[in-house]
Structure formats: C-alpha cells, structure tokens
Amino acid sequence: MTDKTYPPSPEFVANSHADKAKYDAMYQASMQDPDAFWGEHGKRIDWIEPYSKVKNTDFTLGQVNIKWFEDGTLNVAANCIDRHLETRGDQTAIIFEPDDPETPAQHITYNQLHDKVNRMANVLLSQGVMRGERVIIYMPMIPEAAYAMLACARIGAIHSVVFAGFSPDALANRINDCQAKVLITADEAPRGGRKTPLKSNADAALLHCSDKVRCLVVKHTGGQTTWIEDRDVDVLALMETASPDCPPRPMNAEDPLFILYTSGSTGKPKGVQHSSGGYLVYAAMTHQYTFDYHDGDVFWCTADVGWVTGHSYIIYGPLANGATTLMFEGVPTYPDASRFWQVCEKHKVNQFYTAPTAIRALMAYGNDPVTTCDLSSLKLLGTVGEPINPEAWNWYNDVVGKGKLPIVDTWWQTETGGHMLTPLPGATATKPGSATLPFFGVKPVVLDPQSGEENVDVETDGVLAIADSWPGQMRTIYGDHERFEKTYFADYKGYFFSGDGCRRDEDGYYWITGRVDDVINVSGHRMGTAEVESALVAHVDVAEAAVVGYPHDIKGQGIYAYVTLMNGVEPSDELRKDLEKWVRTEIGPIAKPDLIQWAPGLPKTRSGKIMRRILRKIAENDFDALGDTSTLADPSVVDELIENRMNKK
Ligand code: 6R9
C-alpha cells in the first residue's frame, strides 16, 4: 500500500460540516462523556416522549446488554417522512432509476412518499400484521421496497429484507427463523435486462413454510405468475383503495426496527437485530458527516436494500436527514459500462457511494465510459464493503474524481448499523486503502489475537475490536441472545469483536486486512464458508467439502471449493457444473463456487479438524508457505492436493 496522503482541499473544508479541529473536538467529547455527547446528538431526530437516560450498555460476557435512549419513544417512519412535510413536502425524497434506461425515472416527493407509505401501512394492518410481528421483504430495487420498509416502521412491525438474489431455500429459512407473518414480494425483478422470477421463488419457498404466511405481491413487470387465492394479495390494488392516513405508532427506542440475516462462521445465517432510536440517530448522523450531506444534495448509494448498506444509506440515514436519495434498479454494466456515470449525469448526483468490486469491474472497460459523461455535479466519492486496492483507488480518484474529489473509504458491518472507521471529508487527509479514523463515539482497539491484550503502541497490528458501545450497534441475534454473546463477546473479553484483522500505522490510521474468521468477502457480499460447505455436502454425490477464499481480480475474493466425492463417483465436468447449479439453488447465485477442485482427501488434524490454513495456501498457489503439516493425520493428502492443483484437476 502506498502511504501518500490526500488532504482535503481548502474549498471543501470551508463548506464542510466538520474541519479537523471540529472533528478532534467532537471526537474527544464523545470519548470523554458519551452520555452528554449522545444526549445532545440524539436530539437530531424527533422524539414523541423524550429520553431521560442515554447510555446503558455492558459488554461483560454472560450479561451483555445494549440500550440507548431507553425511555424515549419515537416513530422511525415519522422521522423519515412526516417531520419533513412542512418544510419540504414537494422536494424529491426518492429518485427511482429503472433497470431499462428507456423507462422514465420517477421522482417521488416527501408528500407522495407519505401517501404511499400510509397506504401500504394500512394494507399491512388489514392483513392482520401487529406491532412486533415480522414481515419479510423480498423485492427488486423499486420504490415499493422502500414503502414496505417504512410501512413496517410506521406500524411497529419488524422487517427483514432478503436480498432478491437469494434462492427459495434461503428465503424459506429466513421466513421460518423469524416466524414471519407476511412476505412482500414482486412478480419479477429486472436487472441488467434479465428478470428474476421473484414470485415463483416465493411460491417455492412458501412450500416449506407455515400455510398461514400471506404473500403480498407488487405487480411490477406484469409478468405471468401463479396465483393462490386466499394466500396471495395484490398490494398495489389494495393500496389504491386503502386510506392514505395511518397514524405512526409510538415505539420505544429499543423496539426492534429490523432484522437482517448475515453470514458468520457457522452454517446458519444470523438474524442481526437493530433498534429503532439508537440505529436511526447513528444512521442519520453518519450519513450527514461522512458524506458531508447538505440540504438539496442528491445522494446515491448503489447498494441493494437487501444489504445493510441499503438500509442505512439508501433509506434510513438519508430520509431521516430529509435528503434526496437515488434508488437504482439495475447493474453498473447495463446496457453498457457507462451506466453509473450516465445516471450521475442525468440526476446530477452530488455524492456517489459504491463498492470496490464495482470500481474494479468498471476499470476493466477503460476511461471512455466515464469521460464521455458530465460528472461536474459530483462533490464526493465513497466506498464500502471490502478493502480497496491502490489501483482501484487511483482510478476512482483520477478518472471519476478528476483528482479533485474526496474519497471516503468507510469500514463498518451489518452488526454496526453505520460507519465505524471513515474519513470525514473536510477533516481527514486520506491514504489510499485506509479507512483512516474512528467516527464519533467509536473506540477501536487492536488486540493481540492470542492473548487478547490491547496492543497499545500506535503502530501495531492484530484483530480489530471495539471497546465500548455506540448507538447503532446491533442489540442481539434474533431469538438467540446467547449466540450473540458467544459470537461477538466471548473470544476477547470486554470487547465487541469485529472478525476483521487490521493494522494501525504511525499516524493512528486503521488499515483493514480482511476477515480472520471463516467468512469470505465475494464482491463485497459476506459469505460463510460453512454455508457453502453445507450446501455442497447436501448433494448426493458429495462426501465432504471444504471452502476457502482466494484472491480474485474483480471480486476481491473468489470461492474455492475442495470436494471429496462419494465412493465410486467419478469426477467429471458435468458433475462440476451440476454442483455449481446445486449451490445456486441452495443459496443463490452469489454463492456459486468460482473453482471446484476434486479432493480425494482433505488435510485434517488427528482430531478431525480440517486445516483451512493449508487449503487457503494451495488455493493461492502458494505451495512454499504451507507451514507446519506435521500435526496432520495423513500429510500425504497435501501432496496430492498440490499435484491436482498444478494439473488443474
Ligand atoms: C457494510 C458492510 C462487513 C465486512 C467487514 C469487512 C468488510 C466492509 C470495508 C471492509 C475493508 C472497508 N468491509 N467495509 N473491509 N474496508 N471499507 O459491508 O457490511 O456485509 O456485514 O460486511 O466487510 O470484512 O467485516 P457487511
């Protein structure tokens, strides 16, 4: 990594929400007296019943407890919509840019958003959805996805958005895990000119769920779907006749706003549960400061609402701030590699936030797709999801930013609700590849992975943990608080453990080095290796499987699967294709292995534990750095795997 620094330009500093002095002062204040700091900043949102308590948190294993603003009441949807109506009712809240550039974009004002969300909330009530009940949202990137989320928030139901790329099985598991009452979906999800049959996926999923689950369908493309009377409901038709008036329900600050499933080191995805009050304060505040958002700006986060980035920075953060937020249904390369930049030009986007994998993919098409567009509206660029390599950073900076725009590299997680390590564009000199410094209220520590002790030297490396709570922190794993404690607080006592490795340089800047657990990051999507393994071993021909990540030019990491076949089954290209297809249907296209290597045996310790360290090295073609193999039950397995790797078997 280069250590070249890029200080903010004086013009940017002059107009920014925070220069360096202000960042330093606010950060210090947030560390010295979190109660006073957040007591003040909690007021950025509207409370029905104001809070008198601010922070009540404990990271002690066995009694982990996280509460913020616990006696306050609010409604998240009212904060994202109603409170803006008086001053900006006719301002655009959501710009919707469809997959097909020929289809006109929509500009939805705050008044219109109010109307739609109220109607959808009344539809949910008419389906018997009660406060605290779960609603699964399995939708394309269309305004109705936002209406659905906000409608849940309005009536106090808990939403769980499932990424539209997940398979029926993955969808069914999530519906069942949170015992959802209702599933909201659409007929089809157009992306890149192709259509995913969401409704028929939903039909397949619901075969494995309680027959009480209602299916609310948004007729988006008008594509043909099967229709099951008494179960399927035409949402748009009901919204037409529903009342546009649905009073927001007062919710406690700690009432859950949503659950979002994410991958961990075990086979079963975790339902990460977020709060209403603390989450909204944190999403809104990070959106304002990290992106230096000002009234009237057009903000575009290219994530999907199926991921946490879409929750915090397409919906909740921007709308709580009264922003104009852009929702894009399509993909960066459709109809061609110029699409992102055409959309920036068309809608005069001011802040643009995307993932390194998209930058790398677009870089491969050269500069013309960018330089033929007018990007003069852009004021800031951002990245999220994985470490950004210097080539991609430089291209983003030079070609997209013309060397003039600040780049904010934001490190955070589904678990953290909002940005944790990030430059503030008017305050922080950036270094390509570093997420730089903590946001207000965030106390990062670098721990020795073995002893769990804090590495106190400024320049150090180890695993990244957070020493104290912040308002956006997840509260629990849905239905399994013990697993929450075990996953995040057991390995390093007294800390929230991130699962990432990191280095801190001489200026105190943080450099994320990637996951240290069995989670891989494929195109910025989190994938548990155990999830892919359990999908593979569910295939009749597979005896055993081990999955690791390996460096991939575009995706950051690719999925490398070692597969041991059942006795008597012969490897073949056909079987390889069949296994790829199998994983796609078990989990979804994002989990398809990039490489499958036939493994007559896997390297295991005498106690039967697979030594992934060795498998990672073989996948990386790094045969000289295998380390100690003497504890293996059968060291000859390794030679065979290397030989197969070299012969590309
Ligand atoms: C927001 C989001 C979280 C994991 C995280 C880390 C990686 C995210 C990063 C980054 C380096 C960044 N990650 N941002 N690594 N630099 N700026 O992506 O949430 O899907 O839960 O993934 O992504 O490994 O632990 P999530």
DSSP assignment of 304-345 equals -TTSHHHIIIIIIHHHHTT-EEEEE-S-TTSSSTTHHHHHHH
Token pair for 649: 């078997």
The DSSP element (H or E) to which 154 belongs, if any, is helix 143-155
CA gap 415, 411 in Å, rounded: 12
**105 Cα distance to chain centroid:** 25
- Residue 357 in contact with ligand 1 by CB distance below 6 A: no
Contact 177, 146 (CB under 8 A): no
Atom of ligand 1 at shortest range from CA of 525 = 20
The DSSP element (H or E) to which 464 belongs, if any, is strand 460-466
| 278-282, 517-521, 541-545, 633-637: range with lowest mean pLDDT | 633-637
- Residue 384 in contact with ligand 1 by CB distance below 6 A: yes
Report the 3 state secondary structure along 17-77: CCCHHHHHHHHHHHHHCHHHHHHHHHHHCCCCECCCCCEEEECCCCCCEEEECCCCEECHH
pLDDT digits (tens, 9 = 90+) for 123-139: 999 999 999 999 999 99
Residue range 3-31: mean pLDDT, rounded: 96
The DSSP element (H or E) to which 10 belongs, if any, is helix 10-15
Looking at domain 523-644, does it have CATH number 3.30.300.30? yes
- Residue 169 in contact with ligand 1 by CB distance below 6 A: no
Which of 313, 512, 516 has the most ligand 1 atoms within 8 A of CB, as the residue to mutate? 512
Q: Which residues contact 222 (CB under 8 A, 6 or more apart)?
A: 187
In this predicted structure, the answer to whether residue 178 has a pLDDT above a threshold of 90 is: yes
Which of 286, 302, 381, 412 has the most ligand 1 atoms within 8 A of CB, as the residue to mutate? 412
Q: Which residue has 């520590």 as its token pair?
A: 445
Contact 156, 132 (CB under 8 A): yes
In this structure, the dihedral spanned by the alpha carbons of residues 613, 619, 622 and 623, taken in order and rounded to 10 degrees, is 80
268 CA from centroid of ligand 1 (Å): 19
Atom of ligand 1 at shortest range from CA of 422 = 17
Per-residue pLDDT, 434:
97
Token pair for 173: 């598991």
Locate the DSSP E strands across 162-280. 182-186, 189-191, 194-196, 214-218, 232-234, 251-252, 256-262, 270-275
Residue range 24-51: mean pLDDT, rounded: 98
Give CA angle at 520 (516, 525), nearest 5°.
130
609 CA from centroid of ligand 1 (Å): 28
Find residue 511's DSSP bridge partners: 503
pLDDT more than 70, % of the chain: 99
pLDDT digits (tens, 9 = 90+) for 351-409: 999 999 999 999 999 999 999 999 999 999 999 999 898 899 999 999 999 999 999 99
- Residue 316 in contact with ligand 1 by CB distance below 6 A: no
How many helices, marked H, and strands, marked E, lie in the chain? 22, 30
Burial zone of 455 (CB within 10 Å; 0-12 exposed, 13-18 middle, 19+ buried): middle
CA gap 617, 626 in Å, rounded: 6
- Residue 413 in contact with ligand 1 by CB distance below 6 A: yes
Token pair for 135: 């609603």
CA gap 29, 441 in Å, rounded: 9
- Residue 263 in contact with ligand 1 by CB distance below 6 A: no
CA gap 336, 346 in Å, rounded: 15
- Residue 644 in contact with ligand 1 by CB distance below 6 A: no
pLDDT digits (tens, 9 = 90+) for 571-580: 999 999 999 9
Q: Which residues contact 204 (CB under 8 A, 6 or more apart)?
A: 168, 172
In this predicted structure, the answer to whether residue 230 has a pLDDT above a threshold of 60 is: yes
Which of 384, 430, 516 has the most ligand 1 atoms within 8 A of CB, as the residue to mutate? 384
Per-residue pLDDT, 649:
58
- Residue 262 in contact with ligand 1 by CB distance below 6 A: yes
In this predicted structure, the answer to whether residue 411 has a pLDDT above a threshold of 60 is: yes
Which of 526, 527, 555 has the most ligand 1 atoms within 8 A of CB, as the residue to mutate? 526
Burial zone of 167 (CB within 10 Å; 0-12 exposed, 13-18 middle, 19+ buried): buried
Residue range 104-122: mean pLDDT, rounded: 98
Residue range 256-277: mean pLDDT, rounded: 91
The domain spans of the chain are 523-644
Return the half-sphere exposure (C-beta side, CA atoms, 13 A cut-off) of residue 342.
Answer: 20
Per-residue pLDDT, 167:
94
- Please provide the size of the chain in residues: 649
- Which three-class secondary structure state does DSSP give residue 381? strand
- Residue 201 in contact with ligand 1 by CB distance below 6 A: no
Atom of ligand 1 at shortest range from CA of 498 = 25
- Residue 409 in contact with ligand 1 by CB distance below 6 A: yes
> How many C-beta atoms surround the C-beta of residue 237 within 10 A?
12
Per-residue pLDDT, 645:
85
355 CA from centroid of ligand 1 (Å): 10
Per-residue pLDDT, 548:
95
CA gap 116, 327 in Å, rounded: 16
Contact 462, 449 (CB under 8 A): yes
Classify strands 73-74 and 92-97 as parallel, antiparallel or unpaired.
unpaired
Extract the annotated binding site for Mg(2+): 537, 539, 542
In this predicted structure, the answer to whether residue 2 has a pLDDT above a threshold of 80 is: no
> Which residue puts its alpha carbon closest to atom 8 of ligand 1?
385
Per-residue pLDDT, 410:
98
CA gap 196, 293 in Å, rounded: 34
Closest C-alpha among 311, 351, 385 to residue 12 = 351
Report the 3 state secondary structure along 545-610: EEEEEEEECCCEEEEEEEEEECCCCCCCHHHHHHHHHHHHHHCCHHHCCCEEEECCCCCEECCCCE
The DSSP element (H or E) to which 465 belongs, if any, is strand 460-466
Give the helix ranges, DSSP H, for 445-527: 481-489
- Residue 416 in contact with ligand 1 by CB distance below 6 A: no
Which of 161, 263, 413 has the most ligand 1 atoms within 8 A of CB, as the residue to mutate? 413
Contact 275, 254 (CB under 8 A): yes
End-to-end CA distance of the chain: 34
Atom of ligand 1 at shortest range from CA of 388 = 16
Taking the whole predicted model, whether its pTM rises above 0.90 is answered as yes
- Provide the pLDDT confidence category of residue 630 given band limits of 50, 70 and 90: confident
Q: Which residues contact 270 (CB under 8 A, 6 or more apart)?
A: 261, 262, 263, 264, 477, 480, 483, 487
- Provide the pLDDT confidence category of residue 76 given band limits of 50, 70 and 90: very high
